[in-house]
Structure 1
Amino acid sequence: MRKVVFYIAASLDGYIASPDGSVDWLPAPPPGEDYGYADFLATVDATLQGRTTYEQVLTFGEWPYPTLTNYVFSRQLAQSPVPSVQLVADDPVQYVTALKQHPGGTIWLIGGSSLAAPLLAAGLVDELMLFVVPQVLGAGIPLWQPGLRLQPTRLLHTRTWPDGMALLHYQL
């Protein structure tokens, strides 16, 4: 069975985006450093995104995941200009439950927190790779939805970088 990995960055105070939804506070990696992103991406063949995350990624320029199958959960969007994007209006829990049964690589849950919350609550997320950015935003879009209860976790790995970035990798 395929695994779902929630791979995401958050500020020290637990926000994944500024109040306006921007992520321009995320630092650019130092030259020659990608914080393990390329290694992770090599295991992935599909992404899960909510509509807001998808629309934000579209503003970054060229679509960054053309070789992956990208599932965007939205009841508002009718079509996507990106050939590798499949719009999904179905219930995320039911859809991802079925998707995990199909052969393939890692499924990357990109976000946002509104999509992650029901998948976490249903026990469909297998791992959390949380990059803690050494910055305090004070307000914004929180990583965790109110009332979310995570299942027990097991720490798999930690890593820190000289610029203060830290990876916390958990099995859920």
Structure 2
Amino acid sequence: MRNVVLYIAASLDGYIASSDGSADWLPTPPPGEDYGYEEFLSTVDATLLGRVTYEQVLTFGEWPYPTLTNYVFTHQPPTEAAHPSVQFVSTDPVEFVQLLRHEPGGTIWLIGGSTLAAPLLAAGLVDELMLFTVPLLLGAGIPLWHPQKHPQPLQLLRTHTWPDGLTLLHYRLLKVA
């Protein structure tokens, strides 16, 4: 069965974007450093994105994941032609991901946002959380976490802190009986 990994950065106070949806506060890696991104990306063959996250990624320029299969969850029809690697999905994310996990392939990267991550976490469909904590109190914005009905136990797999203060917290989500 394929793993679903929520690989995401957040401010220390838990925001993944500014109130206007921008992420210009995210740090630029120093020369020669990618915070382990290429190593992680080499395991991935599919991404999961909500429509708002997808539209944010489009503002960064050229589509960054052309060799992956990209699933964008939306209830709105696309307004522009998408990259050929992008598929728009209007079905229930939980049902879709349950089926996708059983197909052959590599890691499924849950890029975000929090509206997509919340039901997948609640359904126990996220296997790992790789949270990059940015040493910044943003003060307001789009929160990473939505309220959950039940606590979700985690097992720490590793941590890493870079000289600029960015810290990776890598957890396995434990299945609750």
> Which digits, 9 at most, give the CA deviation of each residue in 1:65-92, with x for residues without a partner?
0000000000102464211000000000
Counterpart of 1:68, as a letter, is L
In the other structure, the counterpart of 2:68 is: 68
In the other structure, the counterpart of 1:119 is: 120
Q: CA deviation at 1:104?
A: 0.2
Residues 20 and 151 (structure 1 numbering): CA distance in 2 closer, same or farther, change over 3 Å? same
> Which digits, 9 at most, give the CA deviation of each residue in 1:79-135, with x for residues without a partner?
642110000000000000000000100000000000000000000000000000001
Per the alignment, in what secondary structure is the counterpart of residue 139 of structure 1? Answer: coil
In the other structure, the counterpart of 2:145 is: 144
Q: Give the RMSD, CA atoms, in angstroms.
A: 1.0
Q: CA deviation at 1:148?
A: 5.2
In the other structure, the counterpart of 2:101 is: 100
Residues 150 and 23 (structure 1 numbering): CA distance in 2 closer, same or farther, change over 3 Å? farther
CA distance in 2, matches of 1:24, 1:125: 27
Is 1:90 paired with 2:87?
Answer: no
In the other structure, the counterpart of 2:19 is: 19
Whether the 8 Å CA contact 1:121–1:150 is kept in 2: the answer is: no
CA distance in 2, matches of 1:140, 1:76: 23
In the other structure, the counterpart of 1:7 is: 7
Whether the 8 Å CA contact 2:5–2:126 is kept in 1: the answer is: yes
Q: CA deviation at 1:150?
A: 4.3
CA distance in 2, matches of 1:80, 1:154: 41
Whether the 8 Å CA contact 2:118–2:148 is kept in 1: the answer is: no
Per the alignment, in what secondary structure is the counterpart of residue 124 of structure 2? Answer: coil
CA distance in 2, matches of 1:149, 1:39: 32
Whether the 8 Å CA contact 1:6–1:125 is kept in 2: the answer is: yes
Structure 1: which 5+ residue stretches go unaligned?
none
CA distance in 2, matches of 1:67, 1:155: 31
Is 1:55 paired with 2:41?
Answer: no
In the other structure, the counterpart of 1:167 is: 168
Counterpart of 1:154, as a letter, is Q
Counterpart of 1:76, as a letter, is Q
Per the alignment, in what secondary structure is the counterpart of residue 94 of structure 1? Answer: helix
CA distance in 1, matches of 2:152, 2:134: 24
Counterpart of 2:102, as a letter, is Q
In the other structure, the counterpart of 1:40 is: 40
CA distance in 2, matches of 1:91, 1:53: 17
Whether the 8 Å CA contact 1:154–1:171 is kept in 2: the answer is: yes
CA distance in 2, matches of 1:97, 1:131: 26
